Amino acid sequence: MDYRVFYVSDPQLLFECNKIPNLKNRPYLVDDLIRAYCLCDHMNVEKVKPLLYEELTQFHSSSYVDFLKRVNDNDDSTLEAENEFGLGYDCPILKDIWKFVTYISGASVTAAKALTTMKYNYAINWCGGWHHALRDSAEGFCYVNDIVLAIETLRKCFGRILYIDLDVHHGNGVEYAYMTTDRVLTLSFHQFEPGFYPTSGSFQDIGTDKGKYYSVNVPLKEGITDDIYISIFKKISTVVNNSYNPKCIVVQCGADGLVSDPIGGFNLTTRAFAECIRTVMKWQKPILFLGGGGYNVANVARCWTYLTAVIIGQEDALSSDIPDHEYFLSYGPDFTLDINPGNRKDYNNSMCLTETLNIIESNMKIVKDKIQTNQSC
């Protein structure tokens, strides 16, 4: 059968991804729930081709990649070296860290390469989406920026790429990688309040030099609900797509904006994420879907399983009752796929959201004019 969706699933990838702090078997829960609902029957499922040294250095500095290789081989790193490269605290040095980074990055690049064959409309890697990693260092549970490496793969085929970040945290690593270029436009919807990690992503952060106006940030406050989030996403993403006219899209579906996430402060359910990806899918362009944050692991599995069903057009076939499988007991006490909204207060002001929308619309007119001018030259 000719499947139009490519899904990365690999026992070694799940093992490596599970090393990331705070995931608590999340990779296994996600993959097993997708399989329990028989969604893999509607996708082409493939294993990972790990990245090589020279592929990692397509974005990351040789000094950082050399350190990862050295600490893996010798296990004799000093505290000073750890601090220099961001390893320690939220990114501790992991056992067999070289295999870890080559699989984590290789999974997203494997999915990106599938899109470049033109055989697939969509590609999925829920073990990807590590958007905080910088060129020279690890940061925020992110050791390697698989997103940037995947985008670089896609750029060679498609040219102009739109990156959309739904994680509750600002996608700083990806934005910084492209803030001086117009080849990639980054669009991030995130919680932005004093002291909230990573403290970047103001609507005033719009890029620099050739990349001015090609970084788009939508800062949101604690407690945002589905209806408001969906509304602002549809309006802003549509304006961005119409102005930039990307040839391929990458969506980071970090699920730490779900209600009851121990790190995030939003009040979203699966419905918000599903409506966002439906909006993007209507644009009829190749899309790479990636994971990201999300630390209520059962809810993340619920969410990404439902998103997988939306992507393959099987959401109406899903039972609300979780099928019996190895991790069934993780979904108690109700054992259902649904996530109910919470009672957290919404601190978002409609006037502020409208102001943000107006600023972005104005900036996107400049982007559209720039593109039209370049095309006519």
Q: Which helix (H) or strand (E) holds 122?
A: strand 122-125
User: Helices 26-36 and 297-312: crossing angle, nearest 10°?
Assistant: 40
- 116 backbone φψ class: left, alpha, beta (φ>0; ψ -120 to 50): alpha
Residue 268 DSSP class? B
CB atoms within 10 A of CB 237: 22
Contacts of 292 (CB under 8 A, 6+ apart): 128, 129, 130, 131, 165, 166, 167, 252, 253, 254, 255, 256
Contact partners, residue 117, CB within 8 Å, separation at least 6: none
| Cα dihedral value 20, 155, 365, 373, nearest 10 | 160
CA distance 361 to 366: 9
Total residue length of the chain = 377
In this structure, what token pair is assigned to residue 254?
A: 């970090």
Contact call for residues 308 and 36 (beta carbons, < 8 A): no
For the chain, the maximum distance between any two Cα atoms, rounded to a whole number of angstroms, is 62
For residue 132, indicate whether it is catalytic: yes
Contact 146, 108 (CB under 8 A): yes
Asked if 144 and 101 touch (Cβ cutoff 8 Å), the reply is yes
Q: How far is CA 125 from the centre of its chain?
A: 9
Q: How far is CA 151 from CA 135, 303, 366, in A?
A: 14, 24, 24
Among residues 42, 132, 169, 170, which one is catalytic? 132
Residue holding tokens 């932005």? 192
Residue with tokens 């082409």: 44
Strands 248-252 and 215-220: unpaired
- Report residue 7 CA to chain centroid gap: 15
List active site positions. 132
